[in-house]
Amino acid sequence: MNRMIDRIAFAFVSLTSAPVPHRREWHELCRLWYSGAVMREQKTSDTVRFGVSMDKPLVEMLDQLTADEGYSNRSETLRSLVRQEIIRSGKDSENRRVAGVITLVYRYGTKLRRVSTKDFSSLRIAGNMQLHLDEDICLKLLILTGDSGDLHAWAQKLVGQRGVIGKLSITATEDVYRELTGTGA
């Protein structure tokens, strides 16, 4: 058993460049590991650990994104990206209150179809701005609040118009509101 502990310690130090721990600490860790105590602690946690395989260039881009965005590690970066994608797709909950921005780009003179908000009871238009990017190109921003399902359905009607390039970006959810106000759990 001591040889196995020494091998584990050597592998850990080789892979992590961590300082060499005292042999007694390794013995205790391995005893806990073999007794299942470490595994029981992981099972009671809400955090699930799993392996992810990626091509090396993608991992390098992930590391660069982690550094550029100020995340503390890859796990934080991945959690943030997954949350963003779930919110963006509207798959988290159709009844969740969200705030979002619809961006529309179109040629000047394009007649945008008016899409009523009557069928989307939770939808509120908080802001509407239009500007010219060029002599012939317009950019329209619509700032909205409402239930996720309503925002996605209404946005699809706008973005799906001929001659319009558009996108809905969900920028905040109930969870974000609670976090910013300090009332979150």
Between residues 166 and 23, the one the model is more confident about: 166
pLDDT digits (tens, 9 = 90+) for 63-79: 999 999 999 999 999 98
Q: Mean pLDDT across the stretch 44-71?
A: 88
Could you tell me the pLDDT band of residue 95, with boundaries at 50, 70 and 90?
confident
Query: Which residue type, as a one-letter code, is found at position 172?
Result: A
Q: How far is CA 29 from CA 14, 21, 26, 38, in A?
A: 18, 11, 5, 8
Which CATH code of 3.30.2130.10, 3.40.50.1100, 3.40.630.30, 3.30.70.1150 fits the domain covering 94-181?
3.30.70.1150
- Please tell me the predicted confidence (pLDDT) of residue 171: 78
pTM of the model: 0.56
Could you tell me the pLDDT band of residue 41, with boundaries at 50, 70 and 90?
very low
Judged by DSSP in three states, 102 sits in strand
Q: Mean pLDDT across the stretch 170-184?
A: 73
Domain boundaries, the chain: 2-44, 56-87, 94-181
Cα-Cα-Cα-Cα dihedral sign, residues 24, 30, 34, 38: positive
Judged by DSSP in three states, 114 sits in coil
